[in-house]
Structures are given as structure tokens and as C-alpha cells.
Structure 1
Amino acid sequence: MVLFLIVLCPAIIRGQSGPDFNILTDRAFQKLYQNPEDCIRYSQSLLISEKNIEHKTILRKTISWAYAMQGNYVQAVNTSNQKEDDSQEVKQSRFVRVFGNFNLADQYQNLGLYEQSRNIIAGILADQDLLTSKNLKERMTLSKLYQLQAINDGVSKKYGEALKNFDISDQYLDYDNEENKITRQENTIFRALYLMRANRREESKKLLDEVIHEIENQGDYAFLAAFAYEALSQYYFSKEDYHTAIHYLEKGFSRIEDLPYNDLKLIFYELFTENYLALNNGEKYSYYNNLYSDLKNKLDSNRKEGIQYIVKLLEIYHKKNIEYQKQNKSIQVKIIISITLFLILGTIVGFYYEQRRGKDLRKQLVFFEGQRKREISASISIAHEEPLIKVNKTSEKDQAKVSKEKETEILEKLKEWELTDNYLNKNMSISILSAETGINTKYLSEVINNNKGKNFNGYINELRINHIASLLRTDPAYLNYKVSYLAEYTGFSSHGAFTNVFKSITGMSPNHYIQEIIKNKKS
């Protein structure tokens, strides 16, 4: 998501300085879409002589966006959150405080912590005075906040809410300048993607044709053009027109091939892989799959390091909000911020503790089969029932730690999280789930064990198998994929682990399951 959240700076700066500074930052803004490395060098040269706190904050954020576009999340977090002198912080304007909160929500989203991003944005948007602001820089910040929230909605598959938030984002773009135009175009591309996922394909295609025409006629913004063509390729992939999808992928990728837009390149590699796999072109599938795997491992590693920086960021965020909370009489905002800080700190520590406990993330499967496999389900239940009973007997004092109301709240959050497909992440752990939902790991474990009838790994694996089984039934393209690809796609570490879990849940191997679907389609 980080790739598309980078168009705020110039409008903000225009509202607070003379024309010379506006012109310089407009150039930085354009370079952001032309080459992030050029943007970093240019913006840093401006930052050296800048004294104004607001200007420095915005320039750092511009540099941070450029790093994020490269997939360098550590530098993105570190750069955008450098502190000023304490004496200067006291004099911060409302805009700087709001912008700091926006920055934190943006960083959470970059690192995949969508629930935390959502909560912070909701807290900011609870300020009714801010929503009616006539200040240009605050209105542009609001536009970006609604854009961020729309993307959070899209991750949760709440496409209707996402489309509404994009509309509100556009309403704050009431100043006729270059960055507002590009923000509208970004919102249009996102609208097209979400309409596509809501099976409103022709509406999606119409929007993409219009926005691509605009982009091609407005200037050399390589990133924006690549983003639009990548979205158009997804339209043709959904229509099973793989050759045309590849054509637009090649057209879009040619715009960024020699530029370090690594986060966007990862999406292109994945789409190339899927299309060539659907066409049974093994050579090109292997080529792009290798590029995808190598880049994904690199970005995933960087994202994990970024989570370490979030701990430091939380301390900064807490200090900056103490004074703001005193001035803002909204108790709701204060509660949300306090709870978020507490839970995130706990879950980040838990995440690294979990990593040190062992490399093997594939624990023994404790699954119950569905209605068609009652006998196998019964045998699995019997095999794993005793250990669960023993745990309950030896830890009576741990019982009922979660109240009924809290349990209901956690189940609702889990239900919402299941819509994100984040369980397909190969590195998924209970600590990561905790960070993404804002739920304490102990509470998560207890609620999953008591309500899902299985441990955490069993719960995640069942979600993965149900997901791929549904795709195999509904999307013919997946019937052509190799089992090894299906295993990797669903987050399993090996072909064998995927096959064993798949069979325990469906009662048949993946190959058998695929053949049954093909046979039924022919009959």
C-alpha cells in the first residue's frame, strides 16, 4: 500500500510559505513520481538550509515516501520521525500534530498493521473542528487520511466503504494544482481496482481508460503510469485474457524497469507469474517467480526491521500527543491512543520472542474436518482432545480471563481480520496477528482455542485451505497451477506440508480435488 500514498507534500507547503519555496517543493513532488532517488537527493538539499519546523517536517516526510517507494521501510520510518528540539516542539501548530498522527497511521499501513492505522485515523477524524477546516494544508492532510482509510477498508474487503472514503478524499481536493490532480487520479485507480474486486468490471474498465488517457497526456510520471497499467492488466486477467494482461503488464513495467520502485515491481513480478502460469509457460513462469521470490524476501526482511523502529516511533508519538490530548477534550481519542500504544508495545515484544523460540512455524496440525469427512474429523478430535483437557485441568486459575463481552469483541475482530487474507502470509504468527488486530496474544490464544476448536496454527491452516479450495472452485485459472505454486501462494513452507493439511481438511489430495472439479465441469 505504501506505493500509492505519496502525494501530500506540495499542497501542504503552498499553504505556508512564499512562492520560491512552493516552486522548489513542486519540483520535489514531481521527482517523487519520476525517480525516488532524485527526489531524495533534491529534498535533502532543501532540508539542509530549512529552519521552519513545518517545512522540515514535510520535507522529511517527502524523503520518507521516496524511501518507502523503494521498499526501504526502515529508512522511511526513521527519516520521517526525526525529532526537533524540545523547545520547538512546544510551539507546534495543530497541523504539525495532525500531520504527525497521519504519519504514524501511514507507517503502520506500510508495515501491514492495518488495524492500528485504522484506529489512529478514526481518532483524528473524530475532531469535528478539523473536518471543517479551511486551511489548505490541513484539508490536503484530510484528503490523504481518507485515502489511507479507504485503502484499509479495501484490505478488509469493505469495498463499499472504501469507495465512499475515496469520494470524501476527493471533496477535500478543492484547490486547482498539480498534486491535487494526481491524488484524484490515484483515487480513481483505486476505485477501479475495488470495483473490479466487487465484480463491477465494466465500470472499472471505463475508469481506467479515462485515467490512463489523462496520465499519458499530463507528463512523465513513470510511477503513476505503471500503477494504472498494472490495474488494467488485472482487469484482463479477471476476464481470462492472459495475453492482453501481459501486454499491459509489459507496457507498465517498461516505465519503471530502470527505476527503483521496488514495492511496485513486486506486484508486477507476481502478476507476470500468475499470467504465465495460467498460460502454462513454464520458462517465463520460473523466471518471474524467481524475481518475485528474491524481491519479496528482501522487502519482507526490511519490513520486519521497520517494525523494530516502530517501537521507537511509539515513544515519540506518545510524547507528541500528551499536550494534544490535554487540549483535545475528546476522551474517545485519548482511550484509543492509549490502548493502541499499550497493545502494540506488547505485541512487538511478543513477536520477537516468538521468533527466537524456534524457526519451525509449522506445528502439529489439530484440525477438524467438515461435514463430508466426519469419521476423519472424529479421529483428529480424539487424537488431540486429551492434551487440551490436561491443559485445562492444570491451569484452572487461568480460566475465564476473557470476559464474555471481551470474547465477543475479539471474535468480531477475528471475523473482520479473516476478510483481509493476511493469513496467507508465510511468516504469519500469533504475534503478527496480535499486531494486526490489536488483541493481546494471550487473549487471542484463549479465544481461538475455546471458540475455533483448534490451536493457532490449526486455525490459520484451515483458513488457508478454505481459501485455496474456494479459488479452485470459482476461478478456472487456478486449476492450471502446480501444487507447489498453490502451496507457496497459501503460505505453506513446503509442498508436502500443504498436501498433508489439504487432505486432512478436504479428505483428498490437492491433485485429486482438482481432478474432481475438472470432471464435474465436464459432466
Structure 2
Amino acid sequence: MVVSGVILTSAQSNPETLKLLDKAYQSLYENPDNAFQILQNIDVNKEPELIKQRVQIILSRAYNFKGDYAKSIDQSIDNLNKNRNENNSFYSDFALAQQYQSLRLYKQSIRISQNLVDKASKIKSQHYPENLSAYIYQLNASNLMVQKKWKEAEENLNQSNSQLKNTDEDFIISIENQIYQTFIYISQNQIDKAEKLVNEIQKKLEKTPQYVFLRAFNLDNFGRINFLKKDYVKSTENLNQALELIQNKAYDALRYRIYEDLSKNYLALKNEDLYQKYYSIYKEQTDKLDKNKKDAIRNLVKLNEQYEAKRIENADRNFINNILIIAIVCFVGILAIVLMNLFEKRKAKSIQKQIDFYSKQQDFIKKIDESKTVIEPKSEKIEPDISKKTPLISKEKEMDILARLEEFEKSEMFLNRDMSLAMLAGQLDTNTKYLSDVINRYKEKNYNNYINELRINYIAYLLKTDSAYLNYKVSYLAEKAGFSSHSAFTTVFKSVTGISPNTYIQQLTQNKQ
């Protein structure tokens, strides 16, 4: 039997344990529930430290596939508790970066994954499998994709592929890399390339039909491609095939994604009954996953404390900055939890009135076409505002925060319903006081008005440039924009544009006719 590279074979490793690890890893893509059963046959107390870590990572990933992020975090906590040796920290760092990414805390994940890439050359000199480097480059590539750094993401995917050999696990990694490449093509509107690559992946997976997760994920991409081509019937067929593959499998997170895509297709096909059916399922799954993510963030605070304690215990001079980073992340995590709870209890309050929306929207569309950004600071409005109030920070720091805000506006991360001032401050490497001051003076509004106007301008832009959105329900547009309810979205939309969403859609429809 060819060892798939799950763990580097050594004299201390039991061959039967390695076979079980191979089987458990492959079962992640067949049915995560099987991975739990297989790993129960491994007595980790009798195994080397690296195998113990690998068992914990497989368990953590199985829970992520199921959409149970809270339990996945618990596994990472257990991993950190048992891993105190700095020479064996790559696995725990990698696992922590994965956890941040699954919870959409991209800034923290990017920081760790980039640090791992910088240290990737050290991995070969230690007792790690070579494909750990492949995983690290893959994780960093996905983080770069969040930042829309497509060229750098492709370079990392190529680096990941260069670490692979002819093993079962490496085959899975290579397919995942191709799926990421498909995302890049779709995001850059290179539909022909995306479709060609999806077909190549499908042919490869025909030889390994047991990997239903990869097959379903690829079919979901196929559905998205056909949706962009406005072939809604074919897109629906792709998505239903994907759903059928995982219908009785524990892939809740992927299933939720497919339900969302199906609801869009049935809406485009004007099938109201099926649209309502799948949108209701999607909404129910969204609420369930959101609750689970909040529980996971609470556990993540505990994980941060364990991670910081481990760093202090190792007492390495290079860890001073990491300790400060973990402390900041822990503080931001606690603030995020508090603000999310407050956010749920509040309704949207007064938002800036009498905005010349249509004039601003023309400027907004022009800027999107020219620079792919959402909203840019207007130089003629900066000077009057600055003179009204003494800056809290230096001009250089202000410009740095403004530049980071512009990148945030390009990322569409403002559509995340959990995006709070504290979370945004953490992602921009500043604090809430400085960020609020910059937004107030340069954007001429408070944080809530700033984030809501970004969302409304984005939805208004989609409605004006993509006729498919004119057929969507206002409830879907509200969900897309990151609002907690239909009524909140309608209130904010009218306060920004001066008219209701339905009236705006009617006007656009009449203009097109």
C-alpha cells in the first residue's frame, strides 16, 4: 500500500496507525462521520507527538465539514494543550490559521499563514511530511484570494503543487488547488477558463467516485458558472446533482452553500414555490451556522489564551511580537462578542437624511468601472472636515488607516452581517477610537452610517448593472447586503436613496423596458 503522506513514516510509528490515518483522512471527503469512527481505533497515548497532532487536525477538519465550528475549536484547544514543544508547533499554528479562516477572521488567519510560508523551508529539516508545506501554501493562497490578490494566490497554489507527489492525499490536495484556481477564474470573470478547468476536474474525479465532497463542490462551481452564463436550467441540474451526492452525508456547510445557489436559480426561473422552499432551508441553515460560529468565537477566546500561554512558556525571543498579536486578537475577539450581542438587540437608528443619491450613484458606478472600488474619499470634502476637529493621531497614521479602509471597501467584506467597528478595527490593525475618528472626519459619517451606505450602494449597483437582481425578493437583497432583517434593509435603503427598494426596482425595470 502506498502511504499517502498523512504522517512521515518513522521507526516510532505503528504501520497500522499510519494506515488508519490514511483511511481517516480520505474518509473526510467520503463522509466525515466515518472519520470519527476510524480515529477511535487509534490509541493516541501510545503514539508520537506528530501523530497525536495529526489526529486532532483530522478531527477538527471533520467538524468543520459538518459545520460544527464550536467543536472544531475544541479540538484545536486540545491540540494546543498537548503540544508544548516549539519544534512541533507548525501543526498547531496551521490548525489555528484554519480556524480563523473558517470563522471569517481573515486578518488573523493571513498573519499566521504568511508567517508559516516564510518558515516553510524549515519544515523539511524536521519530522514533518512534505505535503504540510503544500497545505500551508494552499491556506495562504485562499487568504490571498480574500484580499483579491489573484496573482500572488496563483503563485502560492503553484508552490503548493510543487510539493506534491504521487500519493492519495496529494491527489486530494491537487484537486482542491484546482478548485481554488476555478474560484480565481470566476472572480476575474474568465468564464471560459473556469469552465474548462471544472471539466478537467470532473474527469479526474470520475476515477475516484468515492470523494463525493470534491465532486459536489466541483458541481457547485459548475452551477455558478452556468448561472453567470444565464443558463439557469443547466445550473439547476448541476446543483441538484451536487445536492444528491451529499444528501445523506455530514457536509452541512457545503449543503447550505448549494441551497443558496439553488434559491437564486429558481428565482431566476420564476419558480416561486421552489424558490421559497430552498430559500427557507438556506435561511434556517444560515441562522444555525451563525449561532454555531458565535459559540465558536467564544471558544476561540479560550484558544487564544492557550496559544499565548504556550508562546510565553517557550520563551523564544522571536515570540515577543506573536504574544502581543495574540493578546490583541483576544481583546478584539471579546469586544466582537460583546458588540455582536448588542447588535442583535438594537435596531437601525437615525441615518443621514436628504442624500443626493442619484448623483453619488453615478460617481459610484464610474469608480467601480475604473478602479474596482466601492467608495473613495473625496479630496474636496476632506479639508473642511479636518479643520473642525484636532486629529487624535498623526497624519501618516491617518493616511495608513484611510488606505486600509479603501482596501476594505474593495473586498466586499462589509457584506458580512457580523462586521462591527471592533472587528473592522482588528482587521485594519488599529483601534476603535482611531478608526471611528477617521471615519467621522474623512467619510463625514459615523460607523453605522458608513457601513450601511457601503451596503446600499453595492446593492443599488447590482440592481442597475445585473438585470437578474431585479427579479430577486427584497428579503434576499437584504440578506445579500448583510442586514439582519427585511425591515431594517428597507428603512436604511429609503434613508440613503430617498425611495423604497421596490420603487427603485420598478424605476429601473421601466427604464430598461
Deviations 1:280-322 (A, max 9, x none): 1110011001111111111111111111111111122223334
Alpha-carbon separation, structure 2, partners of 1:227 and 1:128: 28
Matching of residue 121 in structure 1 with residue 136 in structure 2: no
Of the candidates 308, 311, 335, which is equivalent to residue 318 of structure 1?
308
Residue 5 (structure 1) aligns with: none
Matching of residue 45 in structure 1 with residue 45 in structure 2: no
Shift of 1:15: 4.2
| Letter matched to residue 432 of structure 2 | T
Three-state SS of the structure 1 residue aligned to 2:308 is helix
Of the candidates 100, 107, 116, which is equivalent to residue 108 of structure 1?
100
CA distance change for structure 1 residues 334 and 209 in 2, over 3 Å: closer, same or farther?
A: farther
Alpha-carbon separation, structure 1, partners of 2:446 and 2:104: 23
Matching of residue 425 in structure 1 with residue 416 in structure 2: yes
CA distance change for structure 1 residues 438 and 41 in 2, over 3 Å: closer, same or farther?
A: farther
Alpha-carbon separation, structure 2, partners of 1:128 and 1:152: 16
Shift of 1:345: 1.8
CA distance change for structure 1 residues 357 and 218 in 2, over 3 Å: closer, same or farther?
A: closer
Three-state SS of the structure 2 residue aligned to 1:34 is coil
Three-state SS of the structure 2 residue aligned to 1:45 is coil
Residue 381 (structure 1) aligns with: none
Deviations 1:357-386 (A, max 9, x none): 460142321367347459xxxxxxxxxxxx
| More deviation, 38-47/220-229 | 38-47
Matching of residue 364 in structure 1 with residue 350 in structure 2: yes
CA distance change for structure 1 residues 500 and 81 in 2, over 3 Å: closer, same or farther?
A: closer
Query: Where in structure 2 are the equivalents of 1:87-102 lying within 5 Å?
Result: 89=84, 92=85, 94=87, 96-102=88-94
Shift of 1:274: 0.7
Deviations 1:220-268 (A, max 9, x none): 1111111110111000000011110000001111110111101101100
Alpha-carbon separation, structure 2, partners of 1:84 and 1:497: 42
| Letter matched to residue 149 of structure 1 | N
Query: Where in structure 2 are the equivalents of 1:345-424 lying within 5 Å?
Result: 345-355=330-340, 357=342, 359-366=345-352, 369-370=355-356, 372=358, 400-424=391-415
| More deviation, 433-442/459-468 | 433-442
Q: State whether residues 217 and 254 of structure 2, in contact with CA within 8 Å, keep that contact through their aligned partners in structure 1.
A: yes
Matching of residue 35 in structure 1 with residue 31 in structure 2: yes
| Letter matched to residue 19 of structure 1 | P
Q: State whether residues 472 and 479 of structure 1, in contact with CA within 8 Å, keep that contact through their aligned partners in structure 2.
A: yes
Shift of 1:48: 4.7
Q: State whether residues 11 and 136 of structure 1, in contact with CA within 8 Å, keep that contact through their aligned partners in structure 2.
A: no
Query: Where in structure 2 are the equivalents of 1:151-166 lying within 5 Å?
Result: 151-166=142-157
Of the candidates 34, 46, 61, which is equivalent to residue 65 of structure 1?
61
Query: Where in structure 2 are the equivalents of 1:96-495 lying within 5 Å?
Result: 96-127=88-119, 129-130=121-122, 133=124, 137=128, 139-173=130-164, 175-322=165-312, 326=316, 328=318, 334-335=320-321, 337-355=322-340, 357=342, 359-366=345-352, 369-370=355-356, 372=358, 400-495=391-486
CA distance change for structure 1 residues 404 and 280 in 2, over 3 Å: closer, same or farther?
A: same
Residue 3 (structure 1) aligns with: none
Matching of residue 24 in structure 1 with residue 10 in structure 2: no
Three-state SS of the structure 2 residue aligned to 1:137 is coil
Shift of 1:35: 1.1
Alpha-carbon separation, structure 2, partners of 1:276 and 1:83: 44
Select the structure with the greater relative contact order (CA < 8 A; seq sep ≥ 6). Answer: 1
| Letter matched to residue 57 of structure 2 | K
Shift of 1:161: 2.5
Q: State whether residues 100 and 109 of structure 2, in contact with CA within 8 Å, keep that contact through their aligned partners in structure 1.
A: yes
Q: State whether residues 63 and 80 of structure 1, in contact with CA within 8 Å, keep that contact through their aligned partners in structure 2.
A: no
Three-state SS of the structure 1 residue aligned to 2:242 is helix
In the alignment, structure 1 segments of 5+ residues that lack a partner are: 1-8, 375-388
Q: TM-score, normalised by structure 1?
A: 0.85
Q: State whether residues 352 and 495 of structure 2, in contact with CA within 8 Å, keep that contact through their aligned partners in structure 1.
A: no
| Letter matched to residue 309 of structure 1 | N
Residue 384 (structure 1) aligns with: none
Percent identity (aligned): 36
Residue 13 (structure 1) aligns with: 7
Alpha-carbon separation, structure 1, partners of 2:79 and 2:499: 58
Q: TM-score, normalised by structure 2?
A: 0.87
Alpha-carbon separation, structure 1, partners of 2:477 and 2:130: 45
Alpha-carbon separation, structure 2, partners of 1:370 and 1:141: 54
Three-state SS of the structure 2 residue aligned to 1:11 is coil
Alpha-carbon separation, structure 1, partners of 2:21 and 2:119: 29
Aligned residues: 483
CA distance change for structure 1 residues 401 and 15 in 2, over 3 Å: closer, same or farther?
A: farther
| Letter matched to residue 31 of structure 2 | N
Q: State whether residues 426 and 491 of structure 1, in contact with CA within 8 Å, keep that contact through their aligned partners in structure 2.
A: yes
Alpha-carbon separation, structure 2, partners of 1:128 and 1:230: 32
Three-state SS of the structure 1 residue aligned to 2:5 is helix
Residue 379 (structure 1) aligns with: none
Shift of 1:169: 1.4
Alpha-carbon separation, structure 2, partners of 1:244 and 1:260: 26
Alpha-carbon separation, structure 1, partners of 2:197 and 2:314: 41
Residue 71 (structure 2) aligns with: 75
Three-state SS of the structure 2 residue aligned to 1:33 is coil
| Letter matched to residue 11 of structure 1 | G
Shift of 1:354: 2.4
Three-state SS of the structure 2 residue aligned to 1:304 is helix
Three-state SS of the structure 2 residue aligned to 1:100 is helix
Three-state SS of the structure 1 residue aligned to 2:148 is coil
| Letter matched to residue 499 of structure 1 | T
Alpha-carbon separation, structure 1, partners of 2:154 and 2:74: 32
Alpha-carbon separation, structure 1, partners of 2:118 and 2:315: 13
| Letter matched to residue 346 of structure 2 | D
Shift of 1:449: 1.3
Runs of 4 or more, structure 1, over 6 Å off, are none
CA distance change for structure 1 residues 287 and 47 in 2, over 3 Å: closer, same or farther?
A: farther
CA distance change for structure 1 residues 509 and 66 in 2, over 3 Å: closer, same or farther?
A: same
Alpha-carbon separation, structure 2, partners of 1:362 and 1:341: 33
Q: State whether residues 105 and 117 of structure 1, in contact with CA within 8 Å, keep that contact through their aligned partners in structure 2.
A: yes
| More deviation, 444-453/314-323 | 314-323
| Letter matched to residue 77 of structure 1 | I
In the alignment, structure 2 segments of 5+ residues that lack a partner are: 361-383
Structure 1 vs Structure 2 CA RMSD: 2.7
Three-state SS of the structure 2 residue aligned to 1:191 is helix
Residue 386 (structure 1) aligns with: none
Shift of 1:439: 3.1
